[in-house]
A and B are shown apart, each in its own frame.
Chain A
Amino acid sequence: MIAGGSEAAFLALVDRHQTALLRMAEYWLEDEATAEVVVEQTWLAVLGQLERFDARTPLRVWLFGMLLRHLRSLAFAVEPPGMCEVRAAIDPERFAAPGERWAGHWKRPPVAWPGRVRPELSVAERGVLDKAIRALPRMQRAVLVLRDMEGLTSEHLGEILDQSEAELSALLHAARSQLRAALDQYYERRSGAR
């Protein structure tokens, strides 16, 4: 329909996917105006390649794939070397060291977070999460956003990001761990301030 020239069909696609595409682009580029331009260019590429769309892939996955290919080709948004390393899930200091009694077990265990009364996020929680996402290396950011925010499967992520399952799983866990740590710090500070 779109290839046949239906503007309405195209705009229906835009309405459905634009927010998620813009969000992903903005997280990658850290600049709203550039993100908008890149997403526009992605739509143009989508229009140009509609005939090549394989209906066995969900459309959403294909769109994210086109966007990510574009984002990763941008020289000004390439990760400086050293930023790509995957850090340990938890600060190793929090576990008993090898040779110590209970080596590898908690020395400084986690403290339960306050129970959530409302399911919605508070403004502060949003701020903590958003900041922590932006502090991640780009690939981790993309994996986290596509997997946990947009709900894509790890198989689809493998196609889009061209990474093995083991690599993806390490990136995802590293990203989640950084976010968990940021929230943990926030709740700890908050309870200390009380």
Chain B
Amino acid sequence: MKGAQLVDLTCREVTDRASDYLGQRLPLDVQARFEQHLHACSWCMTYLTQLRSTIGMVRRLGDSAGLSIGREKLAALFRRWKQEPP
């Protein structure tokens, strides 16, 4: 760790605000301090990489085939609704 550049934000603060950073929701001055910290702290960089991977993996989990859709049932539901709308 390169001490002087880190003291501005602690690692704990960086991990607490990492999602806001990834979502570009930090105020600009905090974002600059956040990035300064990342340049100096490979541990927090590792953490951020892991958080990014986690998000990507959740997205891929959603890409997989889902539950069966019950199309026939819904078609019947639609026909009933059409006959007698609530």
- On A, residues with C-beta under 8 Å from B are 5, 7, 10-11, 14-15, 18-20, 22-23, 26, 32, 35-36, 40, 43-44, 47-48, 88-90, 92, 95, 103-106, 109-113, 116, 119-121, 125-126, 129-130, 133, 144-145, 148-151, 154, 169, 172-173, 176-177, 179-180, 183-184
Contact = CB atoms under 8 A, between A and B. Distances in A.
Contacts, number: 145
Interface residues of B, number: 47
A183 B52 CA distance: 12
Interface of B: 1, 6, 10-13, 15-16, 18-20, 23, 25, 41, 43-44, 46-47, 49-51, 53-55, 57-62, 64-67, 69-71, 73-75, 77-79, 81-82, 85-86
Given A109-B43, A110-B47, A113-B53, A26 B67 contact: yes
Contacts of B53: 113, 116, 183
A16 to B, nearest CB: 10
Given A89-B15, A105-B12, A15 B47 contact: no
B58 A148 contact: yes
